[in-house]
Amino acid sequence: MADKLIIVESPAKANTIKKFLGGSTKVVASMGHIRDLPKSKMGIDIEHNFEPEYINIRGKATLINSLKKDAKEAKTVYLATDPDREGEAIAWHLAYLLGIPEDSICRITFNEITKEAVKEAVKKPRKIDLNLTDAQQARRVLDRIVGYKISPVLWKKVKRGLSAGRVQSVAVKLVVDREEEIENFVPVEFWNISAILADKKTKTEFESKLIGKNGEKIELHKKEEVDEILKVLEKAKYIVEDITTGERKRNPAPPFTTSTMQQEASRKLGFPLRKTMSVAQGLYEGVKIEGRGVTGLITYMRTDSTRISEEARAAAKKEIVAAYGEEYYENRYYKSRNDAQDAHEAIRPSYIDLNPEMIKNSLTPDQYKLYRLIYNRFLASQMSSAVYDTITVDINAENYNFRTSGQSIKFKGFMTLYIEDTDDEKESEELGIANIPILEKKDELNKKKLESKQSFSEPPPRYTEASLVKTLEEKGIGRPSTYAPTITTILARNYIEKVQKQLMPTELGKVVNSLLIENFGSVINVEFTADMENEFDKIAEGKENWKKVIKEFYDPFEVVVEKVEKELEHVKLEDEVSDVQCEKCGRMMVYKMGKYGKFLACPGFPECRNAKPIIETIDVPCPKCGAVVQVRKTKKRRNYYICENNPASCDYISWNKPKPGEKYVENPDEMEEVKKETIRRKRSTSTTKRKATTKKKTTRKRK
């Protein structure tokens, strides 16, 4: 019989904390949620103040009985699920199933799984925080209501099996809106003029760019304007007007929050969000380290705070001074976002002495990469600023203003260890200061060459997973725990697709978004979604009653749903007619939407069941035989390129889009890899069809 029973969420976490506690303490796992809303119905009693109808999750009966038995035999039960709203709700459900009173002192939490943190938590148990639980319930109930009320509209008007989500639909809208911006973008022509100049004394050449005239900025949009200016500049004298030297500091980025970790892991490591969170979860719960056993390596990975403990700050100082010297350390405090929840620290290593290189052999390659990223980012956040020497030279040529700027690194500081990436551009450490000669005011320079370059403004870039997370966070949509599942869900539902790391809406995503925005614009929008996050925060702080918040949302929402259902009752969405004739019955085929996007189908269904895929082609001929090249997709939505004669008379197939005039070089390994991937998709499709047929037969037998 155990003196104490501690219930955590995962076996890995249980194994890590077992070694910190005595033999009279038993540690078991609930394997995540054990109660939830039913899948077969809404599970919200609208008539009785939105009471959720929770049920035990199917398949967990044996586990629940085992937990009840362990709880009955223990003198004290501690619920040690994750330290966030989700974890608080799981603890609340556990307490209900195990018969533990709500006001019982049974809840313990720790931000990092270390011996000190776990033992300290056991010494300071508390009651379950019902405000946090209610905030999680409010989110779950609201999302269930929205999904169950709106999804049937999609079933009737688009196709069965589709679903709508409050946060997911807004994320899809952001991607669709960006795609529309790109499609509607009208490029603007502009020109740049630069001069290659040389110092008369040293003959050193450098480039200077035209920035204005008579101190006013000028913009050039026509070649005629450029030619007129070049005529003047060809005869002009180039005089040094001003020289400014100075220093510029660059400060380190703060330690990771969930969203910044996801963004950096995407940019630096190429990790999808889901992978980042999965690897981080493993590092938090514990990894078997040679000589130390199972060890939790990082603090809790769902946080939007940049705060760190004083103990961690002291450990960082010791490590930095020892490794780099006193001048590389700077005690830094970072301000979190105004809407950040400060319950947890930033993501940091639990043990500074466990350098990534020391434990590399104990980690998987992915664990090592992410741990190294977290470790270096945290250590760099407590290091000195990088210092640059800067110089700016202003030059006058017949009242036209030219400028040359440069910088060179003087003291690397934190950049010795870590440099943050951005989605837009990567900052160079040196911008050519060494190429600028030593000049003085009034010096006349030799003009070597004038250059003009035509450019066009570019549309905004498509979202990547990293930049979409950044936008969701900036707009207050979702919280640390929701970013990864939100984007994973809309990818899985085929509302958006990932093409070379860029997120693009599918045809299905565009259709669904259009229908939702047109009919449920008051719910599926950025402002409403962000406002609801604020309401959830107020519930978590005990400032709002969760059922009151749901009622205030539901009453007007129900009116909108009823209105939309009536308006759409007699509306039939007409299928777009193609210019392809059905070879079986002669009708003109129409475009339909399927799991993998649009396809062609005969409108005479069910009399005529003819259907065919839409074959996308490119305007570059097959490098091997000159025939038409088709674009197809694998199961994971990755494009590949295949000759229309494959496999009859040409075996060309490649991941890479052929280029005009490209010489064909056979790559047997690549061809084999692509073929295997396409075979997997065919098998997967066959299996799905077989399962569907079996299910239909079983249903008929039951009837």
CA 295 to CA 285: how far, in whole Å?
8
Considering 78, 238, 300, 368, which one is annotated as catalytic? 300
DSSP 218-230: --B--HHHHHHHH
Q: Give the contacts of 24 (CB within 8 A, at least 6 positions apart).
A: 2, 3, 4
- State the Cα angle at 660 between 656 and 661, rounded to 5°: 110
CA 622 to CA 661: how far, in whole Å?
10
Q: Give the contacts of 215 (CB within 8 A, at least 6 positions apart).
A: 401
CA 294 to CA 307: how far, in whole Å?
26
3-class DSSP assignment, residue 242: strand
CA 16 to CA 286: how far, in whole Å?
6
Q: For the chain, how many residues are written?
A: 703
377 close to 253: Cβ distance less than 8 angstroms: yes
In the structure encoding, which two tokens stand for residue 593, read together?
Answer: 């939407």
My answer on whether omega of the bond before 647 falls inside 30° of 0, hence cis, is yes
Task: Classify residue 636 by burial, with Cβ atoms within 10 Å: 0-12, 13-18, 19+.
Answer: exposed
Q: Give the contacts of 699 (CB within 8 A, at least 6 positions apart).
A: none
End-to-end CA distance of the chain: 51
Residue closest to 408 by CA, chosen among 433, 435, 426:
433
The type of residue at 627 is A
The type of residue at 118 is V
The type of residue at 585 is C
My answer on whether omega of the bond before 505 falls inside 30° of 0, hence cis, is no
3-class DSSP assignment, residue 295: strand
In the structure encoding, which two tokens stand for residue 499, read together?
Answer: 């093409």
**Considering Cα of 98, then 104, then 106, then 110, what sign does the dihedral take?**
positive
In the structure encoding, which two tokens stand for residue 210, read together?
Answer: 């035209």
183 close to 538: Cβ distance less than 8 angstroms: no
Beta carbons within 10 angstroms of residue 669's beta carbon: 7
CA 684 and chain centroid, separation: 27
Which string of b and e fits 457-472 if b means at least 16 CB within 10 Å? eeeeebbbbbbbbbbb
6 close to 108: Cβ distance less than 8 angstroms: yes
CA 685 to CA 354: how far, in whole Å?
47
CA distances from residue 347 to 84, 308, 339, 366, 401 in whole angstroms, order as listed: 14, 9, 18, 17, 48
Q: 270: alpha, beta or left, given left = phi > 0 and alpha = psi -120 to 50? A: left
**Catalytic residue check, 300:** yes
**Considering Cα of 564, then 569, then 571, then 574, what sign does the dihedral take?**
positive
Dihedral of CA atoms 278, 279, 285, 287 in degrees, nearest 10, equals 150
Q: What are phi and psi of 90, to 5 degrees?
A: -65, -40
3-class DSSP assignment, residue 78: strand
CA distances from residue 16 to 33, 77, 377 in whole angstroms, order as listed: 20, 18, 25
Residues forming the active site: 300
